[in-house]
């Protein structure tokens, strides 16, 4: 497996991308949001890697997230970047499917509420923060089995997040979905 796959590109922090590469890489670093400006600050990142070439993929992922968020200190744009543990991404897929299957019948108004209020990305907001959506569904639907599935999805997402950084996007929890 490759230690770390980094997407220095807009809107790549999706579960679909993580699931697609999970068998080929250990860590994915990507942004849920559009990347403003020039992308990643490679000089400080590579300088730290050169000083400690034996660092783990998880350590490097944390550094990339930290340096990226720091590099956009003066921007007023939304900024997000996360490092994802791809060895745990199967659980996110499992609980996403579980929640979708439970809410798929008869909850269209609650799904619409969630979609209308969720943290979205891109020009049309069709890419959304998966954890924030699950939190909105959990708040809107009081059935125990749906709340349990939503909470398990949130826990699964939290468990794959090695590092998450954001500016002006407090409902960005590190992993989006289309």
pLDDT digits (tens, 9 = 90+) for 41-88: 999 999 999 999 999 999 999 999 999 999 998 889 999 999 999 999
Name the packing angle between helices 108-117 and 130-140 (round to 10°): 130
Whether 156 and 168 have beta carbons less than 8 Å apart is answered as no
Model pLDDT, residue 143: 93
Q: What's the per-residue H, E or C state across 30-41? A: ECCCCCCCCCCC
pLDDT digits (tens, 9 = 90+) for 10-28: 999 999 999 999 999 999 9
pLDDT digits (tens, 9 = 90+) for 92-102: 999 999 999 99
The whole model's pTM is what?
Answer: 0.95
Cα distances from 6 to residues 13, 40, 94, in angstroms, run 10, 10, 24
What is the Cα–Cα distance from 33 to 26, expressed in whole angstroms? Answer: 22
pLDDT digits (tens, 9 = 90+) for 107-154: 999 999 999 999 999 888 899 999 999 999 999 999 999 999 999 999
Which helix (H) or strand (E) is 29 found in, with range? strand 25-30
Cα distances from 81 to residues 61, 99, 106, 148, in angstroms, run 10, 25, 35, 28
Least Cα distance to 96 among 11, 177, 13 occurs for: 177
Model pLDDT, residue 115: 93
Cα distances from 40 to residues 56, 65, 102, in angstroms, run 19, 9, 39
Which of the 8 DSSP states describes residue 3? E
């Amino acid at each position: 497996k490759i230690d770390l796959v980094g997407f220095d590109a807009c809107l790549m922090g999706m579960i679909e991308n993580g699931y697609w590469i999970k068998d080929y890489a250990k860590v994915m670093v990507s942004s849920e949001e559009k990347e403003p400006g020039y992308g990643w600050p490679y000089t400080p990142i590579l300088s730290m890697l050169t000083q400690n070439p034996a660092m783990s993929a998880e350590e490097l992922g944390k550094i990339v997230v930290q340096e990226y968020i720091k590099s956009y200190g003066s921007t007023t744009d939304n900024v997000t970047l996360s490092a994802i543990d791809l060895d745990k991404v199967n659980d996110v897929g499992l609980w996403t499917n579980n929640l979708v299957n439970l809410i798929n019948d008869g909850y269209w108004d609650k799904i619409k509420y969630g979609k209308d209020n969720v943290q979205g990305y891109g020009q049309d907001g069709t890419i959304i923060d998966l954890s924030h959506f699950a939190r909105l569904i959990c708040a809107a639907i009081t059935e125990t089995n749906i709340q349990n599935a939503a909470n398990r999805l949130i826990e699964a997402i939290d468990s794959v997040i090695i590092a998450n950084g954001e500016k002006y996007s407090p409902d960005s929890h590190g992993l989006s979905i289309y």
